[in-house]
Amino acid sequence: MNVINNSTLLVRRISDLQRRRDILVERQDQLRRTLPEWAFAPLQLAGMSSAEIRGMMQEMSRVESDAGLDAIERELEQLDQRIEELENDLLATPARSLDSIHAVLELALGRVRGQTSKDPNDLFYDYGDARVLSFLERAADDMRSLLQEAHREAV
């Protein structure tokens, strides 16, 4: 395994892996939508005998496996593990420039954006989380502006 000791390169590699993961998750969702109707109705299992439930679960596992969901799950687990390893490397690698700091901030901001609703009508909306996200976005925007200014002055 190559050791990457540059924050910007680590962020780029993590972002690439996260894009691959997003593509796999989308493919997984598409495959799940092609499963038989009974696979989406586990509550219909109520009233069935334990043998019927076991049989249904075995059949569901077989259908998911036939559809390729097992392979996607394994690939997602490998990607998640690799992303975590790179994030650990990133945490241990000091940023040596404002560009590197900005790259790390953007990576963290992307993660927070993905987990935080800014819509007050959303069931999962939390004012405090949305406020923290706004502060982080502001810091990233300010840093981006400063970096662009410094780049213009250097040219």
Mean pLDDT by 10 residues, the chain (155 residues): 70 93 88 66 59 69 74 92 93 88 91 90 90 92 90 81
What pLDDT is stored for residue 19 in this prediction?
A: 93
17's CB contacts (< 8 A; 6+ apart) are 79, 82, 83, 86
Q: Is the pTM of this model over 0.75?
A: no
What pLDDT is stored for residue 43 in this prediction?
A: 46
Q: How far is CA 126 from CA 79, 95, 107, in A?
A: 29, 31, 21
Distance of CA 10 to the CA centre of its chain: 16
What pLDDT is stored for residue 31 in this prediction?
A: 79
